[in-house]
Amino acid sequence: MLRLFLDSAKLAHLQVALVYEITDFKITGANDETIIVPTDYETLTLTTCYPFEYIGDAPDRFIVYTKLVSKPDLEK
């Protein structure tokens, strides 16, 4: 059984930070083209090869779906 021990992801560049809540994750085939789907909210989808310890062209992908929950007000 695979468990994810994080509940958020923070991306920062210079003095701007965006916080994303992890909403879901899954393992899918390397050729799955359905992982990016339209949403009504701002998202970030992360993908990496799976199994993690695999060397070479991994057969699967580990996908993490997130939703933007915090961003700075750049209008100030």
pLDDT at residue 65 is higher than 80: yes
Q: Which domains does the chain have, with CATH numbers?
A: 8-70 (2.40.260.10)
Which residues, at least 6 apart from 62, have a Cβ–Cβ distance to it below 8 Å? 25, 26, 27, 47, 48, 49, 50, 52
Q: What is the DSSP letter of 5?
A: -
Sheet containing 60-70: order of strands: 8-13, 16-29, 60-70, 43-50
Name which residue leads in pLDDT, 12 or 64: 64
Give the pLDDT band (50/70/90) at residue 61.
Answer: very high
Name which residue leads in pLDDT, 16 or 42: 42
Residue pLDDT, tens place only, 19-39: 999 999 999 999 999 998 899
